[in-house]
Every structure is written in C-alpha cells, then in structure tokens.
Structure 1
Amino acid sequence: MEQTFARRYRLTKTDEFSSVFGFRKAIRGKLLMLHYQPRASGSDDPRLGVVVAKKLLKRSVDRNKVKRIIREQFRCQRINLPACDLVVRLAVKPAPLDGKLLASDFLALIDKLRRPRPKREES
C-alpha cells in the first residue's frame, strides 16, 4: 500500500471545495460531517479535503491533530472508496479531543457512503 497522501488524492483549490459544498450532498456523524460529490467519469481516484473551523478548536495543535487523523484514515481506506470528492468538516466541538472517536466516526461515515441508499417511494 502506498504510504503517502499524494497530491492527486487532495482537494487543493477553493473552487474544488466550493463545488463539493455546492453539490449539497452530505452525511452527518457524531462529530464530523462528510460532504461528497461524484467525480467525472475520466477519473477514478477519490480526493479528500478537510476543514476544521477555528471557532470549534482554538488551538492550531488540535486542528492539525484532527486533520492528521482524518487523512490517515482516508489513506488506509482509499482503495475501497468510490471515485468522488470528499470534504470532511468538524460539525461539533469535541469535549475531550479523542483520536479514536474521530477515527471511528470517519470510518462510519465512509461506510454509509459506500452503502447505496434505498430510493424513497413517491406518494
């Protein structure tokens, strides 16, 4: 398995983040929110962007820790992911910053993303 978080797996530009947020599809977890958008047919790699607001975590050490944990989980799960752009953001302020809780929440969101949702019946 590749041990790096290469540039082709990252969302880097503001426009890329904006297009994912503009697609308006999201899954909410306990601590995190996963925004996603399917990629064009020509590309098959998933890409990740992480947003941690200063309003929720004041210390940069804590914000960077959240980003490191999410990137590492993404790197380990990347081969199982569909081709889509993902933006993960912290939805609520974690009381104690628990890395295992963040990792499990991210993995639960990824699991929800992989499972196809049943279509709602129209009345």
Structure 2
Amino acid sequence: MVGETASTRATFPAAARLHRPSEYALALKGRRLARGALFVVTTPRDVAAGSVAPDARLGLIIAKRFAPQSVTRNAIKRVIREAFRNKRHALPPRDLVFRLHSRVAPVSLSLLKKQVRDEVDQLLARAL
C-alpha cells in the first residue's frame, strides 16, 4: 500500500496472538481491565513478564456453553480479531484476553456482530 510502512499497517500476524495455555493462564490470573455486558478483558499483573512481544497480543476464550452454535462463536471471534487488528498499533504492549462471560441472546447474526463490535471497541478504549 502506498505511503504505509509495515509498522503502521493494520495486520494480525501470529506474533499478535496468544498461543500457549500458560500465556492464557497468566493473563487470567492477572487483573481485570474492563467488563462489559458480554466480555471481560484481563491482562497479566506484571506487564513485563506477561508480554514478551513488543506489541499488544490477543487471546480469545469463547465458551460453547455461552454461545452454543459454532457459527455464533466464529462470528464473535472474527469481529473481536478485526477490532483488535484495527487498534493494535495504539494499544500498550500487553496481553489482552477477551473472555465471553454471559450467554449470547438469540438474535440475528448481523445484530450480534454489531453488538459485539460496539462492546469490543468500548473495552479496547478502556484498555488504553
């Protein structure tokens, strides 16, 4: 893309995701940054120990008991990843774990995506 450098482009490489269960466990034992109607965002207490990457990293926990249909779970994950990808350059270098904590209401997929995007944008703004 013309005029963009690799560091300012909104990408989502493997280095921007949490992979190991130990990384998730460290973040879940940490402090809660924000809570919304659907999600809780947590981060490790010690930012230096929790995040080995120079940029923010994302972890997702979308339980089947709160979103029984795979279509719903996958849509939620896509929306969260997209919101994170767009704001990743502005976030501090820490691990963020989004955990679905309440049951998803039976609504249309497009309405659900809008609700999730609005809430995720608010939670990411609080994480700054």
TM-score range for the pair, normalised by the shorter chain length:
0.7 to 0.9
Amino acid paired to 1:49: G
Amino acid paired to 1:16: E
Q: Percent identity?
A: 35
Equivalent pairs counted in the alignment come to 114
SS in 2 for 1:25: strand
Deviations 1:47-92 (Å, cap 9, x if unpaired)?
Answer: 0011100101111111111100000000001011001000001121
Whole-Å Cα distance in 2 between the matches of residues 85 and 11 of structure 1? 8
Q: Which structure 1 residue ranges, 5 or more long, are not aligned?
A: 115-123
Moved more, 71-80 or 16-25: 16-25
Partner of 1:35: 42
Whole-Å Cα distance in 1 between the matches of residues 9 and 26 of structure 2? 28
In the TM superposition, structure 1's runs of 4+ consecutive aligned residues that sit over 2 Å from their partners are 1-4, 37-44
Partner of 1:24: 31
TM-score (norm 1): 0.83
Q: Which structure 2 residue ranges, 5 or more long, are not aligned?
A: 1-7
Partner of 1:105: 119
Moved more, 70-79 or 43-52: 43-52
TM-score (norm 2): 0.80
